[in-house]
Chain A
Amino acid sequence: MEIKTTTKNLDNYKIYLRIEKAVHEFMEKNNYLKVDLPVLSPALIPESYLEIFKTEFKYLDKKEKLYLTPSPELFMKRLLVAGIGNCYYLGRAFRNSEPNSDWHNPEFTMLEFYKVGVSYLQLADEVLKLLRHINNKVKNRKLKFDKWEKYSVAEAFKKYAGILEKELFNEKLFIKKVKSKGYKIEGATYEDLFSQILAAEIEPNLGKNGYPALLYDYPRQLASLAKLGHDKRTAERCEFYINGLEIGGFCTELNDVEEQQKRFVDQSAIRKKNHLVNHAIDKGFIKALQCGLPDCTGAGIGFERLAMIFANVDSIDKLKLINIK
């Protein structure tokens, strides 16, 4: 990797700064508390597919492992338990094994925010308001944010990939169908193939009609830290897309401690199987949840991707004055 400096991107970078300012304004106006958080942590939430950066703190003959946080969630949920209320973080997050590409950088900027007392679809209105606010400040005339183009995951799989609801929610039928479409299924899990179909056949169509698209109700296997819906086969999780690019997602947060513990175990097992860094598990997080995470919805937005859309550029690099690649 090398350090690359360019002032050619100065105009794009200035748009990036305006978007950043617009986000802070919106959050302040809507009573979200800005939280500054560490990026180094002695323990993390296990996430099955996110590789992390590890480092070490040294003092005299003492050493302690530390990890760069792939998301601020572990800190923000502690604060929510402590009763801080609506809050947001706009800062760095780190994901290893994600090479620099048009849409990825191992070091990136995350906008994460939590709203107490609302569910995922209610937060969708707030996200739309945020997008509208940014657009009013940046004035990108190509984009309209008056409404979502909404699809449930089941609707989108049927419409764009010809996969029926009964196939989507039945792992065996799903894998059989995916195989018949010509995909390689050897060694792949349901989650792997779901993500592949989503990326190959569905995402390129989303958010291309002038409005952002909202995809909601993911199969429970892709719940992560989202609460399950009443039907128990979907999770209350959304992702949103503009011009075929996933910008962010949000979900009704899981606050059932037992279920949370179970998912920790499952996710750790997948990490182990995939030979990902064996990091210390954040047990304090579970302890905090035992005190009671309020009903809330959390959103995570890839801030550079969001800025790419408003600045009309096709890669993250074009927003930056210094790139390491």
Chain B
Amino acid sequence: MRTNAGNLKKGDFVYYQNEIWQVQKADFYSPGKGSALMKAKIKNLLSGKNIEYAYKSNEQVEVLDVSSVEMQYLYKDNENLFFMDERTYNQFSLPIPVAGEVSKFFKEGEKMFVYMYNDKPLTIRPPSSVKLKIIEAEDAAKGDTVSGAKKPVKVETGAIVMVPIFVKVGETISINPETGEYTGRV
């Protein structure tokens, strides 16, 4: 689909220098002289590298029409995440830097959506929330009653999350995987 660059938004997939990139952030920017621009941060879906780019806001951009397919997350090695399409049993891999920091919160066996284009996986569609069990946490220090005080805990995927001090080992918490923030107890 062709659109004005002024309509670009986070999550869109675009071609740039013959490779596919995902828009991480797009903001209107007017330099005052010359036409208005869309300043975008885009991520290369082969390397995971981010760059900044500026489009003229009235420039035509091809936004790829991608589909998202539900898959089971299997496991990861040092470089890639592996998924399986449960309907076809086809397996796919994605470089960890492409999936980004959110992959720290993926639990083996969980279902999630993968964006596909021409039968190739592009990246994952991060769930809005993940539920994970706390496996390591220090007890709150006595007398530490400052409201809003936080402590680091380790969740079952190994990621470290800051939580309110009243949260304990063994509890399951919900996390926004995109920001890595604790959003509540489950």
Which A residues form the contact surface with B (CB < 8 A)? 47-50, 95, 97-99, 101-104, 182, 184, 188-189, 191-196, 198-200, 204, 222, 224, 246
Contact A103 B27, beta carbon cutoff 8 Å: yes
A108 CB, min distance to chain B CBs, angstroms: 11
A104 adjacent to B34 (CB under 8 Å) = no
Q: Is the CB of A49 within 8 A of B52?
A: no
Q: A189 vs B39: C-alpha distance in the bound complex, in angstroms?
A: 19
Specify the chain A residue showing the minimal Cβ separation from B30.
A98
A272 → B minimal CB distance (Å): 15
Cα A97 to Cα B54 with chains together (Å): 18
Q: 0/1 per residue, B49-63, Cβ < 8 Å to A?
A: 000111110011000
Q: How far is the CB of B125 from chain A (nearest CB, A)?
A: 24
Known: A184-B56, A199-B29. A98 touches B36 (CB 8 A): yes
Contact indicator A98/B52 (Cβ below 8 Å): no
- Indicate whether B118 reaches chain A with its CB closer than 8 angstroms: no
What are 6 A-B contacts defined by CB distance under 8 Å? A49-B33, A49-B36, A182-B17, A184-B60, A204-B52, A246-B31
A49-B30, A98-B30 known; A196+B36 contact, CB < 8 A? no
Q: What residue of chain A has the Cβ atom nearest to residue B5's Cβ?
A: A184
Q: Could you tell me if B29 and A196 are in contact, using CB atoms closer than 8 angstroms?
A: no
Contact of B33 among A103, A191, A200 (CB under 8 A): A191
A95 touching B30 by the CB < 8 A rule? Answer: yes
Whether the Cβ atoms of B30 and A196 lie closer than 8 Å is no
In the bound complex, residues from chain A placing their C-beta under 8 Å from that of B53 are 200
Instruction: Tell which of A101, A188, A189, A198 has the most Cβ of chain B within 10 Å.
Output: A101
Which residues of B from 121 to 152 have beta carbons under 8 Å from A? none
Q: Apart from A104-B27, A195-B34, A196-B34, what 12 extra A-B contacts exist at CB < 8 Å?
A: A49-B30, A49-B35, A98-B36, A188-B56, A191-B35, A192-B35, A192-B56, A195-B33, A199-B37, A200-B39, A200-B54, A204-B52
Chain A residue at minimal CB-CB distance from B41: A204
B92 within 8 A of A: no
Q: How far is the CA of A194 from the CA of B37 in the complex (A)?
A: 12
Chain B interface size, as a band, is 20 to 34
Chain B interfacial positions (CB closer than 8 Å to A)? 17, 27-37, 39, 52-56, 59-60
Q: Please give the distance in Å from B33's CB to the nearest CB on chain A.
A: 5
- Chain B residues near A97: list those with CB within 8 A: 36
Instruction: Name B's interface SS.
Output: strand
Task: Kindly provide the distance from the CB of B185 to the nearest chain A CB, expressed in whole angstroms.
Answer: 22
What CA separation (Å) do A182 and B35 show in the bound complex? Answer: 18
Least Cβ distance of B138 to chain A in Å? Answer: 29
- What is the minimal beta-carbon distance from A73 to any residue of chain B, in angstroms? 12
Asked if B30 and A198 make an inter-chain contact with CB atoms under 8 angstroms apart, the answer reads no
B33: nearest chain-A partner, CB-CB: A222
Bound state CA distance, A186 and B130, in angstroms?
A: 46
**Best-surrounded residue of A103, A196, A198, A224 (most CB of chain B within 10 A):** A196
Q: CB distance A49 to B28 under 8 Å?
A: no
Contacts of A184 in B (CB 8 A): 56, 59-60
Given A199-B39, A199-B54, A200-B52, the answer on whether A224 and B30 have CB atoms closer than 8 Å is no
Chain B residue contacts of A192, Cβ below 8 A: 34-35, 56
Alpha-carbon distance between A200 and B17 when the two chains are bound, in angstroms: 14
Knowing A188-B56, A199-B54, the reply to whether A98 touches B34 (Cβ < 8 A) is no
Nearest A residue (CB) for B39: A199
CB distance from B58 to the nearest CB of A (A): 8
Query: A49, A95, A182, A204: which contacts B34 (Cβ < 8 A)?
Result: A49
Distance in angstroms between the alpha carbons of A220 and B31 in the assembled complex: 16
- A101→B27 contact, CB < 8 A: yes
Residues of A within 8 A of B59 (CB): 184
**Inter-subunit contact B29/A103 (CB<8 Å):** yes
Q: Which residues of chain B are near A200, meaning CB under 8 Å?
A: 39, 52-54
Residue in A closest to B40 when the chains form the complex, CB atoms:
A200
B61–chain A nearest beta-carbon distance, Å: 9
List 4 tightest A-B contacts by C-beta distance, closest first: A195-B34, A199-B54, A200-B54, A191-B34
Q: How far is the CA of A188 from the CA of B32 in the complex (A)?
A: 15
- For A98, list chain B residues within 8 Å (CB): 28, 30, 36
| Chain B residue contacts of A104, Cβ below 8 A | 27-30
